[in-house]
Each structure stands twice: as structure tokens, then as C-alpha cells.
């Protein structure tokens, strides 16, 4: 909402200090988005009076003047002191009022005023000419003002040359402030002063009666609370007077013609949107009357708005219909509250006007303008609600204005269709409750004063009762409950005056759930392991799954946005990996080859018949390049499959997941992974997730260079498998015996098989077995073979083992391993 201060000042007293005024508006709930100035500002230029005019001692054509500029120049005693100014003009006399630019002023022509000496006489300012002020070409002499010009006031105020425009943010609960009148009321309430409409409209000449020219009916009063029609006849369409054009321009509209401008002017002034129809374009019945019907649009009805765009309407839209039009049901002439029609618009030839002033339903207007993507000054007011009580009053004001600026006569009276006049709520204000909710002891007298300045009528407010009755004004539809009054009192009394307190209550504990504790632990562990947390878009392209090579789960489908910003982000992601691959690519293309990232976030799917989609938190990670750059004391540790696996194993250790298993996935199961470096991760029967090397084709699809090792785990499954702690196992007391074994087996015998066979053969006395070497060498071992070296630790919890029993046990394990795998012990 753009507010011209020059206009506002005609309605209410506005404080001189602009900064303080802006802050006051901010602190009472009307945020000032911006302040800008129009026209010349004439800073440091004031009205002055020539007190003394004397000949310059050293120049015949110059005068030395002493000029009174009021309080704009003070002497050492703090009292106004006249300025000595040397002046070359010949057209002024002692006592004349002139325009004085003080030191520091910058004239529109670019001259900057400095203290100077002219032919040896000090000069501290300048008496300005028209041309120097940028107000004309006259440079014959200085500008001499009428004798009543007040000394000391700013020239910009005197000449009213410039304007200050405040752009106010009007919150949706304050439709009343969508007008100059509303802002004036607000300013009056803030400073507890009075306001009025400012400009008086002359009484218009009248002729005829409105009811002889038009009839109005409303089909559904829920669509339109009130519709008034006025008739203005014999007008001449032409340009608006300058003052009106200036005001509506300041408010943000473009002057069109005097009739349209008058409707806009009254809308900006009072908040009442108006529409002027060319009365002669409307069909007349036998009695010569136009017929206005307000009703729902037809489904699929076509209507051309005055911006010459054909619109397709739904029954949710409300239209104004010319009830006498040839077609049986009448023809639409306006889209109620949004925009008029092309056919009935005011043109240069228009002579007679039907002026609409109505109150249309917020919801229908708002939805219609959203559906048609057609926002207008009118719809933005009906969106928030227009006061139906004043439709008639402001229509009369508009008609008077039209008659003033476009000539013509106004038909007496108004055709007013107001089926169900609005009932105003009568509220009860309880002072005790007010003070409890606000936590502030605001005195009754202040509460009463604030409410009165807001236009409320109070009953028994002066009496010493806890409660009194409050009748809010019609223009404040937001004041419908007691709490709404509290808000008004708080904002006008001052939020800064409320003394701060913390809520008490000793029984409150800021606890964390198991899920939150473990989720924090997952993050902390991954970071300790060297992964960096990141965030990527939760949006995805419809192509992402295909590019990656991942299947959408059976029966599920993507969650698609109805109104995406772009096609790359047209649905919600089903995997985090594409986002992470894009981050890998981003780093690689910016000269950062070593990337270790993880993200914890939701993925989404839906299915036929579902309202709210399924959301699943996932933990995903990517590793590319090395852990580190080569350093003076260590080479770069290139990342591989087992770095990623190690991360998951360490995470499982931190989460006390004992039974983690990695099962090889083949290409058909996981096409997004490179065959042979792909694993499903399980804990018992639960699938935790997958890990592996991203297939180079998939990496390339997201512009990432291979290899990239990745994992994606289901957080719920991970937390399900997690334990709070492990069981205590006594520290060994008896010594252990360690024996090593190298076994040559077929290349496809897995480490898991070897370890499982060894453990089952070793029983309780085999306390540990681990693989410490794996190698394949066709020359030494033969084609398709590998050597796996295992280290066995034997120990008993309750005695020292003898070498005989260890050897016996070890031989048994060896035999079992050979039997189970077809391997042979390498000598």
C-alpha cells in the first residue's frame, strides 16, 4: 500500500520527524517496507526574509544582505541569527520574502552551496532564482515570494513540490488499512488525534432518480453482501485534473480518464473498489431501466475482461450480468470484484455512467483471481474484505467527484440491494483476563482511550467493573473476538513496555527420544569417520530414477508436484543418491577430487488411493577420490569399496548392531551398482540398506567421475537393529594360543563362508579368527584360485590350554575348512 504523505497530511496530522514516524508505524504493526521521495526535495533550502540590503563596498552591482531564516541558523546564544549573503540580483527590496539555500544545500542544477567570499565580503548562502531551483528558466532575478510566506519553513513544504511515498505492508487482517482513510485512522489512533477525509467534494447538481434508470438483484447474498448502483448522466470523458492525476499516480495507478480515475481515486481514498459501466451499452427493459443481476458464472462461460483477454470461468466465479441482454439469461458485463468487461467499459464517447459500489465475497473473489491469475487493485481489496456499511456513502462521494471533474448531473438516490445487513458483534472486554494474557498491568483509562481512538463504542467503560461492552466499528471486521481487542490494546500501548519473564514450572524436563539420541549418534559417528554432512534438494526430476538405474518399488509411485518451479524439480525424491552424485560432480568440476559426504533426509513415495505420501528417512553417503591429499608423511589413501564398508561397520559398532551381514548383489538386483562391488546390508532378517560402487554409467548420468562408492541405509531399520549397549564380557585371564593358516581356495569362496566354517568348527575355545592376507597369483596358485591367510586365537575362559588340545582343535578346523570349501592348506 503506497501512501503519499502529502495526501495523508490533508487528512491527519503527521509528525514532522519522518524517521520517528516510520519507527512508530513499525512498532504499532504497520511495517514500512520502503520510503521514497518524488519530485525535488530542496534539502537545506528555506523561506527567508531580507532584513538588510546594503551596497557591496567593492562592487557596484552586488548587494550585501542580512537574511532571516528563522531557526535554521542559530547564533552562539542559541537564538535565530540572520545570515550575511552577498547577492547580485536587482529585483528585490528590503523586507522581501526570498528562497535561501544554506551552506551544504545542493541545488537542482547541481550547484553546491559553500561558505565563500565575494570581493572580500563573506557570504553564507544564496538567495535563489527560479532557474537555480529548477522551477523555470527565469534568471532575471531571485525568486520573491508573497509577503505571507512564513519565514524559516522548508521551501519544499512551502511550495509543496515534493512528496514522500511510504510503502506500507498491510497485514491480511487489516483490510481497513488498504486506503488513505484507513491509514489516516490508524495514524490518528497511534497519536490519539483526529482525522477526516480531507478534500471536500462540492455538492453535485442532481437530475432524475436513480431508481428510474436501473434495478439490481443479487442471486446469492453469500456471493455479494451489498450492491449499490448510482447513475451519473451527461458527463464528458477527458483527462483528470492535475491534483487527481498526481494523487492516483502516487498511489501506484496510471491516469486513464477522469471517470476511471475518479473510481480509482475513491478506491485509494476510502478502500471501496468501484466500477463505472457505460450505461448506454446496457440493454433497457420496457420501462427504460437497465437490470443488474449478481450471480454465479456459468461453468465454462467465456468472458472478455477489459484487458482484452478472453477468460474461461467456473461457477465459483461471480459475474455481474446485464439482465436485459438479448440472450435469455443475460450477458456478463463484469467479473465481480476482479475486473470489468470490455463491452461495457467507459470510453471517450461515454456520456452516462452506472456506478457500481458493492461488497463481494472474499473467498469467491480470491479464488477467481487466483484461478485466472488476474490480480487487480480491486481484487486485492475484496480478497481481504470490503466494508459493506459504507458502499453507499463512498459511491455518493465518487458521483460528486465525477460531476465535479467531468460535468454532468447525478441522479438522486441510489439503487441499493443489501439483502442481509451485517450484524456487528458486541464484545465483552474483561480487564483481568486482558492483563493475564498480556502479562502487563495496563490501566483501565488507557485501555478505554485506545479503544475509543480505534472507533469502538464502549458501554459502561468508566464504571469500576471488571468487564465492559465494546462495539467495534464496521470497518474493523477483524475485531470479532475479545482476543482481537487485546491485540489492539497491546500494539498501541506498546509491546516494548511488557516486562519480560520466563515461564515457571519445575516439572519440565527437556528430554530426547531414543530415536533422536541415536540419530545424533549416527551423525557424530559418521563425522568421526571422516564424512562431511551435507544437504541436497528433496526434489527430483522424473528422470532421476531411470538415470540412476533404480526401480520404483512395486505398487509405489513418485510424489508429483502440481506446481513445480522447473522440470528438474518436478517430484519428490525416492533416493538421496542423485543429489549426492550431483554434489560429487560439483566438487570434481571445481577441482576438489576428494569427496566424502553423507546426508540424513526423507524420501517420498505414494500410491493409488493415498492422500498423504509415505515418508522414509534415509542415510546416504558417497566417497570419491581419497581420504586425504598426499602428505609429507603419508601417501593419499585412495578410497575403495572397503572404505565404504568400513564406515558402515564402524557405524554398526557404535550402534551396537552385532549381526551385520553383507550379501553380494548381482547386476539384476542393483543395476545402479557395478557388478562385483555391490552388497545388500542385513541385520538378522531385516534389510538395512545397500552399498557398493556406483555403476560408471549411472555416475556419468549425473556427471560424476568414477569410482564413487555409496551407501543408502534405512534409518528406521538401522535404529531397529541398534542396541543401547553391549553385554559385558569378562576380560581374559588365561593366555591365548595363536595359530595361522593359509588356505588355497577357489576364487568364489567368500570370506564369510571361511569364517563361518571356522567359527562353527572352533566352538567356544576359538575366541577369534580373522583374515590377515588375501592374494591371487595364477603362477603360484593356479588359475581361479586365491590364498586366504587366517589367524586363529584359541583361549579358554577358565584354564590354560595345552598345546595338544589346541593342535587337535586346529586340525579339526582345518579339515572342516578343506571339506567345506575344497581348499588345501598352503605349505
Partner 1 sequence: MQTIEIEALQETALQSIAAASSSKELEQVRIAVLGKKGSLTQVLRSMGSVPQEERASLGASVNTARVQLEEALELRASELKALEQSAAIKAESVDVTLPGRSQPIGSEHLISRLTREIVEVFRGIGYRVVEGPEVETEYYNFTALNAPADHPSRSQQDTFYVHDRSGTESRVFGESEVLLRPQTSPAQVRVMENDELPIYILAPGRVYRRDTADPSHLPQFTQIEGLVVDKGISFAHLKGTLEYFCKEIFGPERKTRFRPHFFPFTEPSAEVDVSCGICGGSGCRFCGGTGWLEILGCGMVDPNVFGFVDINPEEYSGFAFGMGVERIACLKYDVPDLRMLLEGDMRFLRQF
Q: Which of positions 491-520 make contact with partner 1 (CB under 8 A)?
A: 491, 495-496, 498-503, 505, 508-513, 516, 520
Contact between 556 and partner 1 per CB under 8 A: no
Give the Å distances, CA to CA, from 438 to 9, 28, 433, 500. 34, 16, 8, 11
Give the count of residues interacting with partner 1 (CB under 8 A).
104
Binding string, residues 172-191; x marks residues near partner 1 by CB under 8 A:
xxx-----------------
Residues 6+ apart with CB under 8 A from 364: 223, 316, 317, 318, 336, 337
Contact between 154 and partner 1 per CB under 8 A: no
Contact between 487 and partner 1 per CB under 8 A: yes
- As a whole number of angstroms, the distance between CA 827 and CA 823 comes to 12
Question: Smallest distance, Å, CB 652 to partner 1?
Answer: 18
Decide whether 351 or 375 has the Cβ nearer to partner 1.
375
Question: Smallest distance, Å, CB 707 to partner 1?
Answer: 17
Cα end-to-end distance, the chain, whole Å: 92
Residues between 375 and 404 with contacts to partner 1, criterion CB under 8 A: 383
Contact between 528 and partner 1 per CB under 8 A: yes
Decide whether 627 or 663 has the Cβ nearer to partner 1.
627
Binding string, residues 600-629; x marks residues near partner 1 by CB under 8 A:
-xx-x-xxxxxxxx-x-----------xxx
Cβ atoms of residues 643 and 623 within 8 Å: yes
Residues between 96 and 135 with contacts to partner 1, criterion CB under 8 A: none
Decide whether 362 or 750 has the Cβ nearer to partner 1.
362
Contact between 367 and partner 1 per CB under 8 A: yes
Preceding peptide of 578 cis, ω within 30°: no
Residues between 405 and 424 with contacts to partner 1, criterion CB under 8 A: none
Q: Residues 362, 467, 551, 824: which binds partner 1 (CB under 8 A)?
A: 362
Contact between 370 and partner 1 per CB under 8 A: yes
Q: Residues 142, 250, 317, 531: which binds partner 1 (CB under 8 A)?
A: 531
Structure-block grid coordinates of residue 473: 466499528
- As a whole number of angstroms, the distance between CA 672 and CA 711 comes to 11
Longest CA pairwise span in the chain (Å): 134
Q: Where are the alpha helices (DSSP H) in 383-535?
A: 391-406, 431-438, 444-453, 482-493, 514-528
Could you tell me which residues are beta bridge partners of residue 118? 121
Cβ atoms of residues 382 and 337 within 8 Å: yes
Q: Where are the alpha helices (DSSP H) in 107-153?
A: none
Q: Residues 537, 680, 696, 706: which binds partner 1 (CB under 8 A)?
A: 537
What would the DSSP string read from start to end of 578-638? HHHHHHHHHHHHTT---EEEEEEEEEEEB-TT-SSPEEEEEEEEEEESBSS--BTTB---B
Question: Smallest distance, Å, CB 696 to partner 1?
Answer: 20
Residues between 563 and 602 with contacts to partner 1, criterion CB under 8 A: 563-565, 569, 572, 579-580, 582-584, 586-587, 590, 592, 594-598, 601-602
Residues 6+ apart with CB under 8 A from 202: 400, 404
Decide whether 171 or 811 has the Cβ nearer to partner 1.
171
- As a whole number of angstroms, the distance between CA 504 and CA 510 comes to 14
Q: Residues 54, 203, 459, 634: which binds partner 1 (CB under 8 A)?
A: 634
Q: Residues 113, 386, 490, 743: which binds partner 1 (CB under 8 A)?
A: 490
Question: Smallest distance, Å, CB 591 to partner 1?
Answer: 9
Give the Å distances, CA to CA, from 335 to 174, 297, 375, 376, 648. 24, 9, 12, 11, 63
The dihedral formed by the CA atoms of 512, 514, 520 and 525, expressed in degrees to the nearest 10? 150
Structure-block grid coordinates of residue 158: 512551502
Contact between 432 and partner 1 per CB under 8 A: no
Binding string, residues 300-329; x marks residues near partner 1 by CB under 8 A:
----------------x-------------
Question: Smallest distance, Å, CB 540 to partner 1?
Answer: 12
Residues between 728 and 747 with contacts to partner 1, criterion CB under 8 A: none
Of 180-188, 231-239, 527-535, 724-732, which part binds partner 1 (CB under 8 A)? 527-535
Residues between 18 and 77 with contacts to partner 1, criterion CB under 8 A: 26-29, 31
Q: Residues 523, 671, 696, 705: which binds partner 1 (CB under 8 A)?
A: 523
Amino acid at each position: 500500500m503506497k501512501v503519499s504523505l502529502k495526501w495523508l497530511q490533508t487528512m491527519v496530522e503527521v509528525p514532522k520527524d519522518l524517521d520517528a514516524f516510520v519507527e512508530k508505524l513499525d512498532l504499532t504493526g504497520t511495517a514500512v517496507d520502503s520510503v521514497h521521495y518524488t519530485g525535488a526535495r530542496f534539502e537545506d533550502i528555506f523561506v527567508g526574509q531580507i532584513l538588510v540590503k546594503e551596497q557591496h563596498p567593492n562592487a557596484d552591482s552586488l548587494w550585501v544582505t542580512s537574511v532571516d531564516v528563522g531557526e535554521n541558523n542559530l547564533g552562539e546564544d542559541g537564538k535565530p541569527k540572520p545570515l550575511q549573503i552577498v547577492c547580485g540580483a536587482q529585483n528585490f527590496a528590503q523586507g522581501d520574502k526570498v528562497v535561501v539555500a544554506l551552506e551544504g544545500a545542493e541545488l537542482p542544477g547541481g550547484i553546491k552551496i559553500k561558505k565563500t567570499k565575494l570581493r572580500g565580503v563573506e557570504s553564507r548562502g544564496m538567495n535563489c532564482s527560479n532557474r537555480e531551483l529548477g522551477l523555470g528558466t527565469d534568471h532575471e532575478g531571485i525568486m520573491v515570494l508573497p509577503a505571507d510566506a512564513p519565514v524559516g519553513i522548508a521551501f519544499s513544504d512551502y511550495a509543496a513540490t515534493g512528496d514522500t511515498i511510504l510503502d506500507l505492508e498491510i497485514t491480511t487482517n487489516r483490510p481497513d488499512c488498504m486506503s488513505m482513510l484507513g491509514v489516516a485512522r490508524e495514524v490518528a489512533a497511534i497519536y490519539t488525534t483526529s482525522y477526516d477525509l480531507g478534500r471536500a467534494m462540492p455538492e453535485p447538481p442532481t437530475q432524475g432518480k436513480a431508481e428510474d434508470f436501473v434495478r439490481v438483484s443479487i442471486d446469492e447474498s453469500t456471493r455479494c453482501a451489498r450492491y449499490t448502483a448510482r447513475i451519473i448522466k451527461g458527463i464528458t470523458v477527458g483527462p483528470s485534473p492535475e491534483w487527481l492525476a498526481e494523487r492516483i499516480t502516487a498511489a501506484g495507478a496510471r491516469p486513464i480518464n477522469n471517470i476511471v480515475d475518479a473510481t480509482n481515486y475513491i478506491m485509494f481514498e476510502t478502500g471501496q473498489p468501484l466500477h463505472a459501466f457505460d450505461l448506454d451499452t446496457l440493454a433497457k427493459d420496457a420501462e427504460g431501466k437497465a437490470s443488474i443481476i449478481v450471480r454465479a458464472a456459468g461453468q465454462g462461460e467465456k468472458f472478455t475482461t477489459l484487458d482484452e483477454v478472453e477468460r474461461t470461468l467456473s461457477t465459483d466465479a461471480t459475474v455481474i450480468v446485464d439482465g436485459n441482454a438479448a440472450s435469455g439469461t443475460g450477458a456478463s458485463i463484469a467479473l465481480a470484484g476482479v475486473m470489468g468487461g470490455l463491452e461495457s467499459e467507459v470510453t471517450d464517447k461515454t456520456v452516462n455512467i452506472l456506478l457500481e459500489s458493492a461488497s463481494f465475497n472474499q473467498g469467491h473473489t480470491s479464488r477467481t483471481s487466483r484461478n485466472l491469475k488476474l490480480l487487480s487493485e480491486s481484487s486485492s481489496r475484496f480478497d481481504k474484505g470490503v466494508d459493506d456499511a459504507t458502499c453507499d456513502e463512498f459511491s455518493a462521494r465518487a458521483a460528486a467527484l465525477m460531476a465535479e471533474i467531468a460535468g454532468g448531473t447525478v441522479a438522486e438516490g441510489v439503487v441499493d440491494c443489501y439483502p442481509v445487513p451485517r450484524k456487528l458483534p458486541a464484545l465483552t472486554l474483561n480487564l483481568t483476563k486482558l492483563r493475564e494474557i498480556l502479562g502487563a498491568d495496563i490501566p483501565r483509562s488507557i485501555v478505554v482511550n485506545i479503544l475509543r481512538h480505534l472507533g469502538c463504542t464502549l458501554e459502561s467503560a468508566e464504571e469500576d467493573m471488571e468487564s465492559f461492552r465494546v462495539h467495534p466499528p464496521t470497518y474493523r471486521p477483524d475485531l470479532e473476538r475479545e482476543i482481537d481487542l487485546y491485540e489492539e490494546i497491546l500494539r498501541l500501548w506498546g509491546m516494548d513496555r511488557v516486562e519480560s519473564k520466563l515461564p515457571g514450572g519445575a516439572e519440565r524436563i527437556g528430554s530426547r527420544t531414543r530415536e533422536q539420541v541415536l540419530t545424533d549418534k549416527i551423525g557424530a559417528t559418521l563425522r568421526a569417520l571422516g564424512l562431511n554432512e551435507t544437504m541436497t534438494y528433496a526434489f527430483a526430476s522424473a528422470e532421476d530414477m531411470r538415470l540412476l538405474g533404480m526401480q520404483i518399488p512395486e505398487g509405489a509411485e513418485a510424489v508429483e508436484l502440481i506446481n513445480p518451479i522447473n522440470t528438474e524439480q518436478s517430484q519428490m525424491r525416492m533416493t538421496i543418491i542423485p543429489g549426492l552424485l550431483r554434489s560429487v560432480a560439483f566438487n570434481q568440476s571445481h577441482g576438489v577430487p576428494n569427496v566424502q559426504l553423507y546426508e540424513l533426509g526423507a524420501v517420498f513415495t505414494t500410491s493409488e488411493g493415498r492422500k498423504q505420501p509415505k515418508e522414509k528417512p534415509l542415510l546416504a553417503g558417497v566417497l570419491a577420490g581419497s581420504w586425504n591429499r598426499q602428505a609429507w608423511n603419508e601417501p593419499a589413501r585412495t578410497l575403495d569399496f572397503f572404505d565404504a564398508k568400513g564406515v558402515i561397520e564402524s557405524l554398526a559398532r557404535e550402534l551396537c548392531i552385532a549381526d551385520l551381514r553383507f550379501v553380494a548383489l548381482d547386476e539384476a538386483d542393483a543395476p545402479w551398482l557395478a557388478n562385483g562391488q555391490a552388497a545388500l546390508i542385513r541385520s538378522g532378517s531385516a534389510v538395512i540398506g545397500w552399498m557398493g560402487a556406483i555403476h560408471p554409467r549411472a555416475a556419468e548420468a549425473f556427471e560424476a567421475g568414477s569410482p564413487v562408492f555409496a551407501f543408502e541405509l534405512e534409518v528406521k531399520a538401522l535404529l531397529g537393529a541398534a542396541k543401547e549397549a553391549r553385554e559385558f564380557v569378562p576380560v581374559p585371564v588365561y593366555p591365548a594360543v595363536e595359530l595361522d593358516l593359509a588356505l588355497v581356495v577357489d576364487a568364489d569362496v567368500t570370506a564369510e563362508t571361511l569364517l563361518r566354517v571356522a567359527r562353527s568348527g572352533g566352538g567356544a575355545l576359538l575366541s577369534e579368527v580373522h583374515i590377515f592376507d588375501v592374494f591371487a597369483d595364477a603362477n603360484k596358485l593356479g588359475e581361479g584360485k586365491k590364498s586366504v591367510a587366517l589367524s586363529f586365537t584359541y583361549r579358554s575362559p577358565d584354564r590354560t590350554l595345552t598345546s595338544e588340545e589346541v593342535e587337535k582343535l586346529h586340525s579339526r578346523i582345518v579339515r572342516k575348512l578343506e571339506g567345506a570349501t575344497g581348499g588345501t592348506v598352503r605349505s
